[in-house]
Amino acid sequence: MEVLGLGLFEIAIAVLSFYCIKILRYNDGLPWNWPLVGMVPYMIKKFMVQDPHASGSADLAQAGGTFLLKGPWFANMDMLFTTHPDDVRYILNEKYEIFNKGSEFKVIFDVLGDGIFNADGHSWRSQRRHAQGLFNHHRFRHYLMRTSREKIEKGLLGIMDHVSEEGYVVDMQDVFQRLSFDTTCRFVTGFDPMSLSTEFPEVPFSKAMDDAEEVIFLRHIVPLPLWKLLRWLNIGFERKMREAQKILDDVVYAYVSRKRAELRTEEVESHEKEDEAGVDLLTLYLTEEDMSLELKSDKFARDIVLNHMIAGRDTTSSALTWFLWLVITHPEVKAKIREELQAHIPPNETQTRRLFSEEELSNMTYLHCALSEALRLYPPVPFQHKEATKADILPTGHRVHPNLRVMIPLFSMARMVSVWGKDCSDFKPERWISADGSSKHVPPYKFVSFNAGPRTCLGKNVAYYQLKLVAAALIHNYSFHLVEGHVATPGLSMILYMKHGLKVSVKNRWS
């Protein structure tokens, strides 16, 4: 595994080899809390298996859904994992002011700066209020809908046609990352990096985002003093983070500068034309009159852009990748989705290439439920990270103390029999459909893919629209076949990507 090849980190834990070897050979149950090193050997064991997410979920189920993972002594790395909906509701809603991001969160996620993901208290409330207003702005929503359709029609379907004609094997995870990167960059900044093309150009910015997310994941499992030492020495994975952040900063600051120049030289247009064309998020941030000077600074603009870029690019591409894989491997689900799509197509258009309108998509219950089921099983952000600011007791009776990390493992939560029933591990869109055929309401503390409580994702409806638009276009117009022997397993990152991508062949259904 990559985590075992991190140079200094491997050397640092080599002194624990006796404990590691012993626990790997003799401990097949829950981890032991060893003197001095805590449960570090258990953590190493998890990273040595092919799918640590699934393995960790099994251990958490064996522990009853809640488990305190003890870190090395004096390292402040203890983490309480809980999958109980009552605990989740308590943490994310009833006592969300007690369970904040925490003192170390902003240090671990420092690449995101002062954006909304790192913010707490007054800063978070202020940013959320502004973001909510801008997300609901009719000019922004019009721009987002229009640019999303354009990128799918002129970019994604063009790639699919090309791959189909040439008989290539394509990595759909890479395609989805390019699609969501271009789309997100365009509706956030107004500029299209054009990474989605038949040439599949190298995208340093996108690669830098992947590297930064990998390092953020590693910072959760490496003691803070150790990775800070790596950062000070500029070696190991911290060197990768520094290089990634430089690329991210250079590109985003260039976008901000370019946008300011554009706004200074742009001729004043009529409101009618503005409404027709729509406007990107960065323009609204920089031009809205009720924005403070701080919110309009280059530094904050950089943080805003990067936070929204990660939120839009990574979550959407991850969700689409796992959804397509699930549909390919469950032909009965694919057949039901196609049946629903056909029901919304005029009889003279059933055998032709087409995109679906927002109105058509809003009436597709089964597609919506299939996407929700995919998000349940493979949440793009597989865990929530909170920290208690004072001592408290969770509804399940577990005590928390100040600075204790409280982790909500969404991936594991989906696989808890106590939460979702005996068929919890099955891909079953029907679990989301009520007796009258409508979409069933599932409490957000049970389905946490869009967060819950005051921090519920502002872009939830936008995300569903984009997912439906892409999913419907692909399933209606193309057939996909997995490459023989392809293994779909999660990688190690703060985003739930497939470790080996999603390699498929593509056939145009109407060619």
Measured between alpha carbons, how far is 179 from 195 in angstroms, rounded to an integer?
A: 8
Measured between alpha carbons, how far is 324 from 293 in angstroms, rounded to an integer?
A: 44
Measured between alpha carbons, how far is 208 from 243 in angstroms, rounded to an integer?
A: 8
Domain boundaries, position 226: 49-508
Bridge partners of residue 479, in order along the sequence: 507
Four-CA torsion 208, 212, 214, 216, nearest 10 degrees: 180
Burial 4-35 (b: 16+ CB within 10 A, else e): eebebbeeebeebeebbeebeeeeeeebbebe
What pLDDT score does 36 carry? 72
The whole-model pTM stands at: 0.87
What pLDDT score does 293 carry? 52
What pLDDT score does 11 carry? 44
- Residue 91's φ and ψ, nearest 5 degrees, are -75, -45
3-state secondary structure of 346: coil
Is there a domain that residue 53 lies in? Answer: yes
Residue 457, annotated as binding a ligand: yes
Is there a domain that residue 108 lies in? Answer: yes
Q: Which residues contact 169 (CB under 8 A, 6 or more apart)?
A: 483, 503, 504, 505
Is there a domain that residue 27 lies in? Answer: no
Looking at residue 218, its amino acid is L
What pLDDT score does 294 carry? 58
Is there a domain that residue 367 lies in? Answer: yes
Is there a domain that residue 17 lies in? Answer: no
Q: Phi-psi region for residue 441, left (φ > 0), alpha (ψ -120 to 50) or beta?
A: beta
Task: Please write down the HEC assignment for all residues of 147-196.
Answer: HHHHHHHHHHHHHHHHHHHHCCEEEHHHHHHHHHHHHHHHHHHCCCCCCC
What pLDDT score does 3 carry? 39
Number of domains making up the chain: 1
Question: Do residues 317 and 225 make contact, with C-beta atoms less than 8 angstroms apart?
Answer: no
Structure-token pair, residue 136: 């609901």
What pLDDT score does 81 carry? 93
Measured between alpha carbons, how far is 156 from 149 in angstroms, rounded to an integer?
A: 10
Residue in 127, 96, 103, 104 with CA at minimum distance from that of residue 114: 127
Is there a domain that residue 100 lies in? Answer: yes
**What's 245's domain CATH number?**
1.10.630.10
Measured between alpha carbons, how far is 226 from 445 in angstroms, rounded to an integer?
A: 35
* 10-residue mean pLDDT series, the chain (511 residues): 44 44 48 73 68 81 88 79 95 90 82 83 81 82 88 94 94 96 92 91 89 88 85 92 94 91 68 60 80 69 88 90 98 97 88 90 95 97 89 94 90 95 96 91 93 87 93 97 92 88 95 77
Is there a domain that residue 5 lies in? Answer: no
Question: Do residues 140 and 281 make contact, with C-beta atoms less than 8 angstroms apart?
Answer: yes
What pLDDT score does 46 carry? 67
Measured between alpha carbons, how far is 412 from 60 in angstroms, rounded to an integer?
A: 8
What pLDDT score does 507 carry? 96
Residue in 394, 338, 391 with CA at minimum distance from that of residue 367: 338
Question: DSSP alpha helices (H): ranges in 330-422?
Answer: 331-343, 358-362, 365-377, 410-413, 417-420
